[in-house]
Structure 1
Amino acid sequence: MHRRVLTLLIIIALLSSLAYAVANSGYFRIRDVKVAGNKEVPTAEIIKLCGVKVGDLIFRVDKKDIIARLKSNSYIKSVNVNVKMPDELILRVYERVPVGLVPYYGSYLKIDDDGIVLEEGKAKGSNLPVLYGVELGQWSLGHRLKPKDEDLFKQALMVLKAINDTHMNGVIEGVEINGSELIMKALPDIKVKVGQAGDFEYKLNFLKLILKDIKDKGYSSGTVDLSVANPTFSPSS
C-alpha cells in the first residue's frame, strides 16, 4: 500500500516537473502580437498599452486586463483578444469614429457619433464639421458630453454621423444648434435648415444634388430649406 502511494507521488512529481518545464520553455512564450482593425491608434501604441510583451508566457495572458488597458484609450470602443497557441496573441480593436468638433475655450473637443470625447486639440488640418451652440458643463476624455439641451444634441450627433456616412466632410463645414433648430453651413456660403425630422442621410444625399444645381447656376450664397416637404433654395439678395 505504501509502495503504491509512493509510486503515485513520484509520478505526480514527475508530471508536475514536466508540465512546469514545458510551460516555461520557449515553445509557449509569445513570439508575435498582431493588431487588426485600428486606424486612429497606431499599432505600436496598442501593443505597448496592452501590457503583453514578446517573450511572456502565453498561459499568463489575462484577457480582461488587456481589454481594460486598451479601453482606457478614448478611441478604442471594444476589443477582442484571441490567444493562438502556442505563441501568438491577436488583438482586434474596434475604434470610435470621429465625426465632429465642439469649440471649447480656444480649442476643440473631437467627438464620435455617441458624443464621446476622443481628444482635445486644434482644428487645423481637420475636415470635420464644427458643432456650434453646445452649452457644455464639465467633460472628460472617454466620456460623453452632457449638454443642457439633450434632445437637440442627439439630433446634431445624427446629422454629424450622416455627414460622415455620406462623405460630405469638407463640404459641410459646420452644424449650428440655433434655438430649437439645426442649421448646417455648406461651402462656400450656403446655410441649410435641417429640420428635426429623421432620415438625415437621405436629406444629405438630396442636398448633394441641390448644391450641384446651385453651383451650376452660379450662386455662391443663400439658404436651402430641408425642413419642408419640398426643399427650397433662396439666393442671397
Structure 2
Amino acid sequence: MGRLVRKIIVLLLLVLITLVFVFRLDYFNVKEFSIHNLKRVKKDDIIKILQQYQNQNILSINTKEIRQKLLENPEIEDIRITRRLPNVLVLEIYEKETIGLIKYLNSYIEIDKNGYVIRIEGDLPKKTIVFEGLKVNEAMVGKKLDVEDHLLLDEGLQVASSLKNFDVFRKFDVDHVVVLLKNINNVELKMDKLLVKVGDISEIDYKLKLLKSVYDKLPKRIEGTITLNSNGIATFSPNTEEEN
C-alpha cells in the first residue's frame, strides 16, 4: 500500500471521526425555530409539528420531511427551510392567497388560484372578490372545490386573477367585486352600484383598462350599466330610476 493511499485513508478516518463527534455535540442540537411571514396560519399549528425535532442535531434533521408535513396544512403554499448554525432552524412560510369567495349555506368558501378550498368562514371580509352563479356540490378544506360546471369555475378563476393583477381595489372605490358567472360567454361584474357587462373573457386585461377609463369619468356612486367590447367601445347606461 503506497504512502499516498495511507494518507488518504487516515484523512478519511479523521473526517469520519470529526463528523461523528460533531453529530454527538449538544451544541448543534436545535434550540430555536425562527418562523416568518405568518398572516393567518396559526404559529401554534406550526410549532406542534416542529416540537418533535427539538433538540435533534441540526445537521442531521430531514428538512424535506418537515416541509412535507407542513404542506399538509391547506393554507400553506410553500415553505423554505434553512439552518442557522449552530442551533436555529429558520422557516419562511408562504401562505396561499385567496383568489375569491363563494357563498355556501351560511358561510363563505375561500378558494385559491387553482380552485382549492383554503378555509370556510362565516364572515365576508372587505376587499374581496365574490363568485356568484356557481352551483357547489361539495366543499372540503384542502380539496378542489366540487362544482357542477368546472369550466365556469376555471373562467371565474381567470377573471379573478386578472382583477387581482389589475389591483382592482386600489383602482376602484369599492369594498367587493362580484363576478357573476352566467355562462362562459356571459360574465358580469357588480361593483357597488354599477353592473359591468364583460361578455366572454377574451382580452379581459384590455377590457379592465377600458372599464377604468370609463369609471374615472362617471360621478361617484352612480347607478347604471357599463358594457365593454373588445373592439374598444364601452357604453354606459344609467338606471331609469336614477334618471327619474
TM-score by length of 2: 0.78
- CA pair 36-202 structure 1, distance change in 2 beyond 3 A: farther
What SS does the aligned partner of 2:160 have? Answer: helix
Contact persistence 1:133–1:177 (CA under 8 A): yes
Contact 2:29 2:87 in 1 (8 A): yes
Q: C-alpha separation between the residues in 2 aligned to 1:47 and 1:77?
A: 18
Decide whether the 8 Å contact of 1:33 with 1:90 is kept in 2.
yes
Unaligned runs of 5+ in 2: 1-12
2:181 is aligned with 1:177: yes
> Relative to 1, partners in 2 of residues 1:45 and 1:200: Cα closer, same or farther, differing over 3 Å?
farther
Picking from 194, 201, 208, the partner of 1:197 is 201
CA distance in 2, matches of 1:52, 1:194: 53
Listed as ranges, the matches of 1:48-127 within 5 Å are 48-51=48-51, 53-127=53-127
CA distance in 2, matches of 1:160, 1:51: 38
**CA deviation after TM superposition for structure 1 residue 46, in Å:** 2.9
Among 216, 232, 235, the residue aligned to 1:232: 235
Tell me how far 1:203 sits from its aligned partner.
Answer: 2.6
Whole-angstrom distance in 2 between the partners of 1:51 and 1:68: 15
Q: Cα distance 1:184–1:153, how it changes in 2: closer, same or farther (>3 A)?
A: same
Report if aligned partners of 1:197, 1:227 keep a CA contact under 8 Å in 2.
Answer: no
Q: Deviations over 1:29-75 (max 9, x none)?
A: 11332233443324454343344554332144222321122111111
The one-letter code of the counterpart of 1:185 is K
CA separation in 2, counterparts of 1:205 and 1:123?
A: 31
Deviations 1:136-160 (A, max 9, x none): 2223111221322222211211111
Quickly say closer, same or farther: Cα 1:123–1:200, change in 2 above 3 A: farther
- The code of the aligned residue for 1:202 comes to Y
Equivalent residue number for residue 7 of structure 2: none
State which drifts further: 68-77 or 200-209: 200-209
Single out whichever of 174-183 and 194-203 deviates more from structure 2: 194-203
Alignment partner, residue 6 of structure 2: none
Q: 1:186 aligns with which of 191, 194, 208?
A: 191
Offset of residue 28 of structure 1 = 0.8
Q: What letter corresponds to residue 234 of structure 1 in structure 2?
A: S
User: What is the alpha-carbon distance in structure 1 between the residues aligned to residue 148 and residue 229 of structure 2?
Assistant: 24
Structure 1: runs of 5 or more not aligned: 1-11
Deviations 1:187-213 (CA, angstroms, capped at 9, x unpaired): 1x1111122233433332332232221
Q: Distance in 1 between matches of 2:116 and 2:222?
A: 35
CA RMSD of aligned residues (A): 2.6
Q: 1:6: which partner in 2?
A: none
Map of 2:218 onto structure 1 = 214
- Identity, % of aligned positions: 25
Please report how far the alpha carbon of residue 120 of structure 1 lies from its aligned counterpart in structure 2 after TM superposition. 0.4
| SS of the residue 1:129 aligns to | strand
Q: Which residue of 2 aligns with 1:3?
A: none
AA partner of residue 95 (structure 2): E
Structure 1 contact 67–79 (Cα < 8 Å) conserved: yes
**Equivalent residues of 2:98, 2:112 under 8 A apart:** yes
Number of aligned residue pairs: 220
Structure 2 CA distance, aligned partners of 1:46 and 1:130? 30
